[in-house]
Amino acid sequence: MSTETLEQKNEEVVQKPAEGLLSKRRKRLISDPLNEDNPITVQVLGICSALAVTVKMEPTLIMSIAVVFVIVFSNLIISLLRNLIPNRVRIIVQLAVIATLVTLVSEVLKAYNYEMYKILGAFVGLIITNCIVMGRLEAFAMGNKPYDSVLDGLGSGFGYAWIILTVAFFRELFGSGSIFDFKIFEAVGISNFPTNGLMVDSIGAFMVLGILIWVQRSKTGYVEH
């Protein structure tokens, strides 16, 4: 089994005595997805939600928190169960874990932040289909120890979060003239700043995302083959 060989390799690495809680390798688990191996800009996963929720900062922030929560805990749970999960139904098991966590997030939101639930309702449910979450479970958590999986989840989660927050920042600023619903242009004395419908549409997200990818790749030198 491919997963088993993967796991043996990893165990050899981990078995070396006294690997620091944040050793170089583990730091890379977190830092890689933030930039060089970013789930959105490099792996091009989770684009749908990056377009859908990024009209304003506040829902984007809630969405980011929800995704980080789901990705970290599903990574942890799957990693703990990795030696028990039958290979043939592993995708179903992963899906069940993700769906459970997402439903929990959605229910909690409905109970304690109804305002946001009304805005994000459908999109929170769609975290289930966010390829980043399932991708990390299949590619990482199935073959690695729990602590490493949590770090990997944090890395991917924050990698997703900072990108969508950046996109939302520019979309809300130019689309609605505000940040976190605070009218920024009015505050600095420009009361007739025109709002831009293009940024409010999904097209705006594509443009901001495209520019982000451009800037990032010109820095890291990453090219697609």
Partner 1 sequence: MRQSNGYIILFTAIMTVIVGGLLSLASQGLAPAQKRSIELDTKSSILSSVMDRKELKKMKPKEVLEMYDKRISSLVVDINGDIVEKNEKGEPIVAEEVSILKNYKKNPEERLYPVFKYMSAENPDKVESYILPLYGAGLWDKIWGYVALNKELTTIVGVAYDHKQETPGLGARIGTPEIQGRYVGKEIYDEQGNLVSVTMVKGEGNTGLDSHHVDGMSGATLTGKGVNVMLKNYLNYYQSYFKKVKSGSVAAL
Q: Which residues would be at the binding site for partner 1 (CB under 8 A)?
A: 55-56, 84-89, 92-93, 96-97, 100, 103-104, 107-108, 110-112, 114-115, 117-118, 175-177, 195-197, 200-201
Cβ closer to partner 1: 81 or 131? 81
CB of 99 to partner 1, least distance (A): 8
Q: Which is nearer to partner 1, 71 or 168 (CB)?
A: 168
Q: Quick one: 86 or 189, whose CB is closer to partner 1?
A: 86
Q: Which is nearer to partner 1, 6 or 85 (CB)?
A: 85
Buried/exposed code over 197-221 (b: 16+ C-beta within 10 A; e: otherwise)? eebbeeebbebbbeebbeebeeeee
Cβ-based nearer residue to partner 1, 196 or 216 = 196
Shortest distance (Å) from residue 221 CB to partner 1: 37
CB of 46 to partner 1, least distance (A): 21
Burial 2-20 (b: 16+ CB within 10 A, else e): eeeeebeeeeeeeeeeeee
Q: Write down the residue that tokens 């025109």 correspond to.
A: 194
Q: Give the H/E segment covering residue 183.
A: strand 182-183
- Under DSSP, the state recorded for 223 is -
Task: Provide, rounded to whole angstroms, the least separation between the CB of residue 86 and partner 1.
Answer: 5
Give me the residues paired with residue 182 across strands.
179
Instruction: Work out how close the CB of 21 gets to partner 1 at its nearest, in angstroms, rounded to a whole number.
Output: 30
C-alpha of 204 from chain center: 20
Asked if residue 52 lies in contact with residue 124, where contact means CB atoms within 8 angstroms, the answer is: no
